[in-house]
Amino acid sequence: MLAYITYELMAIIDPIWVFIPGVWLKASILFILVILLHRNIVCQILILSIGSMMGDIVLSFVLRSYQMNYSIGSMHFFDSFMLGMLGMISLFYLKMTLARWEQYVFMLEKERKNNV
């Protein structure tokens, strides 16, 4: 939540540092932070979902106190949210595929050793 708000406020205050499109940069920052916070995929999805939603709500309250209009749940929010989810799910399936492939290679090596 705090990372989401910090990113958005820094993008508003100092937009020079956003050299990558904002949606991709925000999604990658949230993705990396969620990966560092927890190992379980279900917990990662919950952390990303709840943190992003709460961050969007709190950001709206902060900006409204400065008379700036900000709509909660805009398409920009859902773009970055779905990119983060896509990254997490892709990484999960990549890990699963590599684990199965490693198990298959281990089985082939064991078979080869038994046949020799």
Looking at residue 37, its pLDDT comes to 92
73 conformational bin, left if phi > 0, alpha if psi -120 to 50, beta if neither = left
Sequence letter at residue 88: M
In angstroms, the CA 56 to CA 42 distance is 21
Do you know the residue count of the chain? 116
Tally the domains of the chain.
1
Domain of residue 100: give its range. 2-115
Looking at residue 22, its pLDDT comes to 82
Over residues 106-116, the pLDDT tens digits come to 999 999 988 87
* Helix ranges restricted to H, 1-116: 2-13, 22-37, 41-65, 75-115
Over residues 22-60, the pLDDT tens digits come to 889 899 999 999 999 999 999 999 999 999 999 999 999
Over residues 70-95, the pLDDT tens digits come to 889 999 899 999 999 999 999 999 99
Q: For residue 48, count other CB atoms closer than 10 A to its CB.
A: 24
